[in-house]
Amino acid sequence: DEARGAAREGRPELALRRALEARERFLDALRLGEPRLEPTEVRIEVESTRRLLDAEAPNIRDSGVEQAIRLLDEAVARQQDAEGHLAGGRLRPALTEAKLAEALIRKALDLIAP
């Protein structure tokens, strides 16, 4: 609700921050009963997000849409975090960051869609 309110008020950065915080709380709640993650599955997710990022980053940057570019920059940071967590064997944070990066990329793409 906080994210929607901020979006209605024309505060997209705050809306995004609130949405990501809510998502993280939701993921934390899910983790309580989650089974063990498989390294191969997490690696596939992280690599898939990297491919999406590499394919769409030029389109987003070339769009000139400031908000989309900010979302892309955040997605790049999240993806780098995901790759670092994966390299360190921290599977759950790697998966969480990769999924957040994907969500940010998709939101940026929505903003530049004709």
Q: pLDDT tens, 19-41?
A: 888 877 777 766 666 677 899 99
Predicted local confidence at residue 11, as pLDDT: 80
The one-letter amino acid code at 40 reads: T
The DSSP secondary structure of 32-81, one letter per residue, reads: TTPPPPPHHHHHHHHHHHHHHHHHHHHHHHHH--HHHHHHHHHHHHHHHH
Q: pLDDT tens, 75-96?
A: 999 999 999 999 999 999 999 9
Question: Which pTM value belongs to this model?
Answer: 0.71
